[in-house]
Homo-oligomer: A and B are copies of this chain.
Amino acid sequence: MTETAPRPTLEAVAARAGVSRATVSRVVNGGQGVREPLVERVRRAVEELGYVPNQAARSLVTKRHDAVAVVIAEPETRVFADPFFALQLRGISKELTAHDSQLVLLLTGGRADHARVGRYLAGGHVDGALVFSLHFDDPLPELAQRAGVPTVFGGRPGWGEGTRSAVYVDSDNRGGARDAVRHLVGLGRGRVAHITGALGQTSAVDRLDGFRDVMVDVDPRLIVEGDFTPAGGERAMRLLLERCPDLDAVFAANDLTASGALRVLRAQGRRVPEDVAVVGFDDMLPVAEQTDPPLTTIRQDIEEMGRLMASLLFRALERRGGGSYRDAGSGVGGGPSSVVLPTTLVRRASA
């Protein structure tokens, strides 16, 4: 604990500036209707005393917090192990800094903590929320909706009452997956396998759908579920090689999964791309460049997705008018629309 001097009060500021409490309060909350010389005197007194307005009281008046919550629906161990989140946060952080809004990252130990996250969102601490890495049965969209907090999602939420009119930013996962598999087929590969992402998330389901769009009537043993991690990629690759030793290509649901698959292929003496061609998804650097061999992959602009999520949120908040973000409706009619960003194939050595 640091030793604290008593906090200067509104009264102390009023006394120092020689004005009424009401005048100080008006200045602190924006200064409307106060003459400039008085505003100046109050500001000087605030400065000299180091007065910090009681934000809880203040926000009852202004309804603004200059803070945005970011909720990542994953345990913090995954948040810190997967560079995807750091990239998205970097994009969000840039946009928030430009708006002088505080990034408030709400960490969750797991699903059991989501009710607590919902309470914080409802608690009048933030102007809006950016929520990503949702799973199908996740209570967060409903909690955010109940909290009355404007929310933009990272990735399409695919279910539930609360998400029908949700605004989200996503990549063209299905189209990107089609490009990946078409590239492999174009190389003359006929036994193309797919290691999926965590199938509780729309991004994984959409990439699987894209795979199936091209590989109609595929041998079902060529599809194995992964979980977007290198360890999941290793497990799935081992299983695939046992089941289908004749496979000649793999489309992995993300680059981390592909990095695990490549390790197993090398350990089992399969040459990449000669024996087995491999394509990932993300173009996550430095991962995609540092695999052996460097990874052919589908690029999505993760940092830009984060920036765009924040930008859509601010646009919605601005439409409601500066002083009363949380009072207005929730962006119904004329609010910002969801955005789906295109993907591109990046060719390196693995396919």
Contacts and interface: CB of A to CB of B under 8 A. Distances in A.
Interface in A133-162: 141, 144-148, 150-152, 162
A83 B86 contact: no
Given A56-B56, A57-B124, A80-B80, 5 more contacts: A1-B150, A1-B151, A1-B152, A3-B165, A67-B125
Interface in A50-94: 50, 52, 54-57, 59-60, 65-67, 76-77, 80-81, 83, 85-86, 89-90, 93-94
Q: Which of A3, A97, A152 neighbours the largest number of chain B CB atoms within 10 Å of its CB? A: A3
Given A2-B151, A104-B105, A80 B89 contact: yes
A335 interface: yes
Contacts of A141: 2
Most chain B CB atoms below 10 A, which of A67, A85, A100 = A67
B125 A55 contact: yes
Contacts of A330: 1-4
A277 to B, nearest CB: 29
- A55, A76, A77, A125: most-surrounded residue (chain B CB, <10 A): A125
A90 B2 CA distance: 24
A106 B106 contact: no
Contact of A107 (B4, B83, B103, B164): B103
A116 interface: yes
Number of copies: 2
21 contacts: A1-B151, A1-B316, A1-B331, A2-B144, A2-B165, A2-B166, A3-B164, A3-B332, A52-B119, A52-B147, A55-B122, A56-B59, A56-B123, A67-B120, A67-B123, A77-B86, A93-B107, A100-B116, A102-B116, A102-B119, A123-B125
Contact of A76 (B55, B57, B90, B119): B90
Contacts of A100: 116
A311 interface: no
A146 B2 CA distance: 10
Contact of A145 (B2, B116, B162): B2
Contacts of A97: 109, 113
- Best-buried of A55, A166, A316 by chain B (most CB within 10 Å): A55
Given A1-B331, A122-B55, A332-B3, A93 B116 contact: no
Given A60-B57, A123-B55, A102 B80 contact: no
A195 interface: no
A52 B1 contact: no
A167 interface: yes
